[in-house]
Amino acid sequence: MKKILVPTDFSAQAENALKIAATMVARNGGHIHLHHSAEIPLHLANNGDTRNLPEALYFIKLAEKQFSELLKKPYLKDISIHETIGHSEIYDDIKEAVRKNDIDLIVMGSHGSSGFREMFIGSNTEKVVRTSEIPVLVIKNDHENFQVKDFVFATDFSEECRKPFMEAQKFAKAMGAHMHLLLINTPSGFKTTAEAREIMEKFVRGTAAENYSLNIYNDISVEKGILNFTKEINAQLIGMSTHGRKGLSHFFNGSISEDMVNHANMPVITFKI
């Protein structure tokens, strides 16, 4: 993952994501595409109307100034960065930037203690996570020293999750992390240990997976199981696969407890099926 896109609104949360991206580039090489959507008001972006050009240029110049100040940060020294300014909705800008620059990974920040709630329910970030064809790493807090030694990858071990699992394996290898493959056993979908083991072993067979372990965790719900297991082993990252609304809603939307949203106080990475 050498090409990393970091969308920024120049907030502290966006800078948290930029710091993580810089750490990854410093460790593994590559470069960062730092993107800002200028969000020029519609009345200033009226096609063919040059009367509003000075005001529109103001927003662009303001973004350029903020870029200049941001790029002076010590943690970006010797990091290869390409900055761009978009003029469409941030969601459309990100899709275009990914396509145009052949991006490998998107790293995004979220906001405050309710960041995951804001992110996954009806926001632009939710759209990016839900529809992105490439992995999306979401950062909630400032991490002074971002190291992932233990990476929890929660899955139902279905055949369609093999591809995301292989992508997660690449990410884990790049980070030097041990992957804890996790199956949550709930009362509504209970499996015996033997049944669960058979499913998990079949899933990894032939994948040439390395540095991983198989884990079964019993809990009253999927989201509580992920959180409790992650806390018990003191992991630094949660990963999972999604195939849009069907997949992501299973983990994060109304039918699943908001505990997952509010208590996942760590990075989360998603991989598209």
Asked if residues 222 and 151 have their Cβ atoms less than 8 Å apart, the reply is: no
HEC profile of 41-97: CHHHCCCCCHHHHHHHHHHHHHHHHHHHHHCCCHHHCCCCEEEEEECCCHHHHHHHH
Which residues 6+ apart lie within 8 Å of 68 measured at CB? none
- The CATH number of 3-139 is 3.40.50.620
Question: Identical fold at 3-139 and 150-272?
Answer: yes
- Whose structure tokens read 């969000």? 39
* pLDDT tens sequence across 227-267: 899 999 999 999 988 765 544 444 544 333 234 434 567 89
Helix (H) or strand (E) holding 268: strand 268-272
Q: Ranked by mean pLDDT, which of 102-116, 210-224, 235-249 comes out on top?
A: 210-224
Ramachandran assignment for 208, one of left (phi > 0), alpha (psi -120 to 50 degrees), beta (any other): left
Q: What is the mean predicted confidence (pLDDT) over 116-137? A: 69
Confidence at residue 48, expressed as pLDDT on a 0 to 100 scale: 52
Confidence at residue 252, expressed as pLDDT on a 0 to 100 scale: 45
- Read off the pLDDT band of 165 (50, 70, 90): very high
CA-to-CA distance for 207 and 25, rounded, in angstroms?
27
Q: Name the nearest CA neighbour of 21 among 101, 103, 84, 96.
A: 103
Confidence at residue 49, expressed as pLDDT on a 0 to 100 scale: 53
Confidence at residue 243, expressed as pLDDT on a 0 to 100 scale: 64
- Whose structure tokens read 């493959």? 181
The answer to whether domain 150-272 has CATH 3.60.15.10 is: no
CA-to-CA distance for 175 and 172, rounded, in angstroms?
5
- Whose structure tokens read 């999306």? 136
The 8-class DSSP code of residue 273 comes to -
End-to-end CA distance of the chain: 18
Q: What is the mean predicted confidence (pLDDT) over 60-80? A: 92
Q: Is 228 exposed, middle or buried (0-12, 13-18, 19+ CB in 10 A)?
A: middle
The amino acid present at 206, given as its one-letter code, is: G
Domain spans, the chain: 3-139, 150-272
